Chain A
Amino acid sequence: MLRATLIVGCSLAGVLAAGSCASRDLRDLYFGEALYQANQGRYFEALERLDAELALHKGVDEPQRDSLQFHIGEAEFSVGDFELYYRMHLRAGRAIKAVLEGAVDESVRNEAAYRLARIHFQKDQAADALLALDRISGKVPVAIRDDVEFLRANVYMALGRPADAAGVLKRLQSAQSLTGFAAYNLGIAMLQEGREQDAILQLDKAGQLSVNDAGPLAIRDKSNMLLGKLMLESTDFTRAQQYFDRVRLDGPFSNQALLSAGWADVSAQNYERAVVPWSMLAKREITDAAVQEAMLALPYAYSKLNVHGRAAVLYSDALKSFGEELTKVDASMKSIAEGRFLKALVREEIQQDKGWAIRLRTLPDAPETYYLMQLMASNDFQTALQNYLDLDELRRKMAGWQTSLDAYEDMIRLRRKNYEPLLPGIDAQFRELDAQIRLRMEQRNHLQQRLHQLLIEPRPDLLATADERIVLETLRGIEQSLEKANAADVPQLQERLRRLKGVLTWTLYTSYPQRLTEAHEHLNALNADIAVLNKQYQEFVRARQAAEHSYLGYDDTIKRLRTRAAESLQAVNQLMAQQGHLIETVAIDELRTRRARLEVYQTQARYAVADSYDRAAKVQGNSAPPDSSQAASTGGSR
């Protein structure tokens, strides 16, 4: 049975992308900032922000009053998502497990279980993926319901349970988001089950789906390719031809389809028909393996049609092209060995869009990439390339951090230089002012207490003016003097004294309420001034603290960060070298394989061109005068 590839992931990635990054009713600006970064594909920055926010949230005394509390479920999910996008599957798995094990709503737990299952599946841990899926029960969010089942089917397939997978996939045939994918995978499940006829019928349906998006269109082509190959295997060349014809001429499978269509014709001994797809294919991008094969297959078909002159010319062209391609491959290998491939990879302008790997080909000075398109499209190589780029990004960041740390140290040094000589003088001056302030505050407190006492126990004498107090003292002195005097007019004077005291007492008692009110008003005015004083006092204390905090307490942190950054930089450099070396080795290995293949083709073309010229000459010799042999060399022998 032909090896058929299961289609996974396309729609899952779409769901994930649309999932958590669309918060509308936002309460936490920093969470919004993390989303802003993530929405631009800047997952390092998004994680940096969100990690910091979550750490702060967990550190506060009352998390329920923190603004992140409103988004906490989404934030914890987003961490896992961002980690997944940033290719940190191990941490993403841990983050999602934490959500799964927390006290969360049933639908949240089910979504977490689904995401965990997806991570396990992506890491080829199908049994663990199934365990995670088995934890899903009860309410499943509508947005992921079909994806959960699709993943379950894929897990069954990976575990060698195609019958179970087929059962699940049958139920998904009407799922809009899985159009094409579910149909194709059902066909594959049936094939694995050994139900070949059912599989052919199912793949036939998948191969005729009316779809417009790139993903489903590619799946449709893939279904037809697989059907064509199945028909070729069972020697039903006519049907094989029909299926290959269904494959789009501008899709990712078109080259393979054209090549296979030609072989189907050749197998049916319909050489004339084989010339059509192969002629078309032979004009395409020569670095494609199918095109190279077509360059030999096409003259082969002509030779079978006894058009040996044309075959000879085409073999000759192929021979020339293969020679040129070998030179190109050699140049590519040399270029890679010189490190130019890795240099091309880290060029920023080619990483601006998702198809950056494909755009590499458009670089005029990067011949090393010409033969690596297929390799670069593979998942493992993509991961390796992305890791290399991520490491390069980390290296740049850390180089920037070293500069920042230098600047911070300089800033701290300048602040220390500025503040340290000033602070002792300021502190001495402040201590003096502080003593005065404390004294005045005590006086004010005393006044307040006395006024408060006057409300309970009125004492008009205490609110006498300074003049009145002098008068009172004078009257008391006179009174004492009169007590000791013996003169005749003493009683008269004492009477006058009583009257004067009476007038004063009258004034004190009658104006007492007014005076008490005024005293409180003055106290309130004093309180307002004291409030200003307190504010200034607090501002001074804060400014004083800020001045000290602006240069004290950073040394250990900076030292630790320097050490950690230096260690990480070393690790990054080492990993980059290893990753880069592996990428280069794999790339050179791929080129060697392609080179060896080209050499085989070249040898065949070399033999075939001579053979075809001989045959052309023979045909010419049999059917035309001897001097017309020149026609064969120009390809016009038919």
Chain B
Amino acid sequence: MRMLKKFWLVTFAAVAVLASSGAGAEASYREQMKGLDEQVQEVKSDVLSIAAELSRLEERLLYPSGTHLAVFVALAPRDTLRLDAVQIQIDGQPVAHSIYSFKELEALQKGGVQRIYTGNVASGEHQIEVTIAGKLDTGKDYSRTERFAFNKGVEPKLLGVTLGSSELQLGDW
């Protein structure tokens, strides 16, 4: 029995030695990770700057201000609508369709605004049709379609659609 006890002591001593030998290596790894972390931060910063310039280029190239139209959707504050899908038509043509995951819906509920469509339209009068589908807090299916007229001038046009269980509103930015 004494021998067995001794063996336990040897075992734990060996395990303790293993643990302590790992501590030095751990500190070295930590330093290396810290150094790499700073380099990763720098490269992220560079890539973000490239992304911003690329985004400006893309906007200039694909959506010139004279024809630029962007449609955004937001949820009405404190509305309990469980939004499932949104469809957008411009002048009778379907241009965007979005089905919302839980994460996306949550992002909208927290005050986020989704850019659902970016495209080009000629200056002048146009019509936008917004169709939403979802569920009310009672569990009942809900769908609604609204049409709005808007005028596109020479400057970029931003349209914000606020979705709710009682109404759809078009805001002009």
Which residues of A line the B interface, CB within 8 A?
21-24, 26, 29-30, 32-33, 35-41, 44, 47-48, 51-52, 55, 67, 86-91, 296, 300, 303-304, 380-381, 383-384, 387, 390-391, 394, 397-398, 401, 404-405, 408, 411-412, 539, 542, 546, 549-550, 554, 557-558, 561, 564-565, 568, 571-572, 575, 578-579, 582, 585-586, 589-590, 593, 596-597, 600-601, 604, 607-608, 611
Check A33 against B4 for contact (C-beta < 8 Å).
no
Check A48 against B55 for contact (C-beta < 8 Å).
yes
Least CB distance from B154 to A in Å reads 7
B114 on the interface (CB 8 Å rule)? yes
Which single member of B18, B43, B51, B57 contacts A44 (CB below 8 Å)? B51
Q: A29-B173, A380-B33, A390-B40 are in contact. Are A601 and B48 (CB under 8 A)?
A: no
Interface residue stretch chosen among B24-32, B126-134, B140-148 = B24-32
Check B25 against A589 for contact (C-beta < 8 Å).
yes
Interface centre among A87, A384, A590 (most CB of B within 10 A): A384
Least CB distance from A192 to B in Å reads 21
Jot down 23 A-B pairs with beta carbons below 8 A, ordered by A. Answer: A21-B110, A29-B113, A32-B112, A32-B113, A33-B113, A35-B107, A35-B110, A39-B111, A67-B173, A90-B41, A300-B4, A380-B30, A387-B37, A398-B47, A398-B50, A411-B61, A554-B57, A568-B50, A572-B43, A582-B29, A597-B15, A604-B8, A607-B7
Least CB distance from B135 to A in Å reads 21
Check A394 against B64 for contact (C-beta < 8 Å).
no
B90 on the interface (CB 8 Å rule)? no
Q: Given contacts A88-B44, A300-B4, A401-B54, could you give 6 more A-B pairs where the C-beta distance is less than 8 Å?
A: A36-B108, A51-B52, A87-B44, A384-B37, A546-B66, A607-B7
Check A390 against B44 for contact (C-beta < 8 Å).
yes
Least CB distance from B73 to A in Å reads 9
B53-71 Cβ-contact flags toward A at 8 Å (1 or 0): 1111110110010100010
Q: Complex: how many Å from CA A549 to CA B59?
A: 13
Task: Find the A residue at minimum CB distance from B70.
Answer: A29
Q: Complex: how many Å from CA A304 to CA B1?
A: 8
B22 on the interface (CB 8 Å rule)? yes
Check A404 against B47 for contact (C-beta < 8 Å).
no
**Consensus secondary structure, chain B interface:** helix
Check B104 against A40 for contact (C-beta < 8 Å).
yes
Check A91 against B41 for contact (C-beta < 8 Å).
yes
Least CB distance from A138 to B in Å reads 28
A residues in contact with B110, CB < 8 Å: 21-22, 35, 39
Task: Find the A residue at minimum CB distance from B162.
Answer: A26
B residues in contact with A296, CB < 8 Å: 11
Check B56 against A52 for contact (C-beta < 8 Å).
yes
Which single member of B37, B46, B55, B77 contacts A24 (CB below 8 Å)? B77
Check B52 against A52 for contact (C-beta < 8 Å).
yes
Q: Complex: how many Å from CA A542 to CA B153?
A: 12
A residues in contact with B14, CB < 8 Å: 600
B117 on the interface (CB 8 Å rule)? no
A residues in contact with B104, CB < 8 Å: 40
B residues in contact with A397, CB < 8 Å: 47, 51
Check A596 against B61 for contact (C-beta < 8 Å).
no
Check B160 against A29 for contact (C-beta < 8 Å).
yes
Check A408 against B61 for contact (C-beta < 8 Å).
yes
A residues in contact with B123, CB < 8 Å: 539
Q: Complex: how many Å from CA A438 to CA B123?
A: 26
Q: Complex: how many Å from CA A405 to CA B61?
A: 11
Q: Complex: how many Å from CA A89 to CA B44?
A: 11
Check B154 against A39 for contact (C-beta < 8 Å).
no
Q: A29-B158, A384-B36, A387-B36 are in contact. Are A21 and B111 (CB under 8 A)?
A: yes
Check A579 against B40 for contact (C-beta < 8 Å).
yes
Interface centre among A36, A41, A539 (most CB of B within 10 A): A36
Check A408 against B29 for contact (C-beta < 8 Å).
no
B39 on the interface (CB 8 Å rule)? yes
Check B3 against A35 for contact (C-beta < 8 Å).
no
Least CB distance from B111 to A in Å reads 5
Q: A33-B113, A35-B110, A35-B113 are in contact. Are A88 and B45 (CB under 8 A)?
A: yes
Q: A561-B50, A564-B50, A608-B4 are in contact. Are A601 and B11 (CB under 8 A)?
A: yes
Q: Complex: how many Å from CA A381 to CA B77?
A: 40
Q: Complex: how many Å from CA A88 to CA B43?
A: 10
Q: Complex: how many Å from CA A371 to CA B154?
A: 62
Q: Complex: how many Å from CA A607 to CA B11?
A: 12
B167 on the interface (CB 8 Å rule)? no
Which single member of A383, A394, A607 contacts B37 (CB below 8 Å)? A383
- Among B137-166, those with CB < 8 Å from A are 154, 158, 160
Check A608 against B66 for contact (C-beta < 8 Å).
no
Q: Complex: how many Å from CA A271 to CA B20?
A: 30
Check B48 against A47 for contact (C-beta < 8 Å).
yes
B residues in contact with A36, CB < 8 Å: 107-108, 112-114
A residues in contact with B33, CB < 8 Å: 380-381, 383-384, 582
